[in-house]
Structure 1
Amino acid sequence: MKKILLAFVLCFMAQMSFAQDFKSDTKKYMDMSGQFKIFEKLTSQLEENVPQEKKAEFNKELQSSLNLLMDKMAEMYMTEFTHQDIKELIKFYESPLGKKLSSKSGVLMEKGEKVGQEWAMGLQGLMMKYMQ
């Protein structure tokens, strides 16, 4: 009975280690792909609205909130991709093209926001045309 219990515990520990490696690699991919930078940019805009005397405490709580968000996002990716998939994505982001794509994520986000806003404004006109 002790051997069965020991085998179960060892298997469980190995599985937990594998899951941690998978999650760690998933977070590494998310960082390399520029996803963390996007959230940092969005949250820095939030900080501008907080009074100076409250910024330190705000940033502490915000960082905790971001850590939880990154954990949940990593878990989301882990349901859609295998560990091997994530390893391949990391290889891509370690390549020159992957590094270029990652470095452009902020610029692409800004340009994408502008394009989206322009589209939405045009859509308002379209909606008005058909709602009258």
Structure 2
Amino acid sequence: MAQDAAFKADVLKVIKMSGSTAQMESAKKQIMAMIPNEKHEQFNKDFEATMPGFYDKIADIYLKEYTHQEVKEMLKFYESPIGKKIAEKAGVLFEQSMLAGQEWGASLQEILMKYME
């Protein structure tokens, strides 16, 4: 039981170190842009209250897909200079990837219209 708890704790640490929290902050910013400013504070509280459950579900996926040894190796990676840089850039990459996806979607829509006529 303690071994399972240590495994899950390491998985949660990997999730945090990998930059997932930065990606969620970027997603939250995008959502907040759609909400009136006077409701931001309450939305932020509600949003943050959902995060532990969300990360717990993500951790359960990792627990099924990786061994504890693999997770320990991920931790070593994210403690390395390049691992730290990947985590540091995760939010920026997420935001820019979302924009690229929107642009691609718009161009794909034009192609789709050509074939629906």
Kindly name which structure, 1 or 2, has the bigger radius of gyration based on alpha carbons: 1
Q: Which has the higher contact order (CA 8 A, sep 6+)?
A: 2
Structure 1, gaps ≥5 residues long: 1-14
Distance verdict in 2 for CA 1:115–1:45, change over 3 Å: closer
Q: Secondary structure at the match of 1:104?
A: helix
| Correspondence for 1:3 | none
1:82 matches 2:67: yes
Aligned mates of 1:58, 1:107 — CA distance in 2? 22
Alignment map for 1:1-132 (pairs within 5 Å): 15=1, 17-47=2-32, 49=35, 52=38, 55-132=40-117
Aligned-pair identity in percent equals 41
CA apart distance, 1:109: 1.1
Structure 2, gaps ≥5 residues long: none
**Count of residue pairs the alignment pairs up:** 116
One-letter identity of the residue aligned with 2:69 = Q
| Correspondence for 1:10 | none
TM-score, normalised on structure 2?
Answer: 0.86
| Cα RMSD, aligned residues only | 1.8
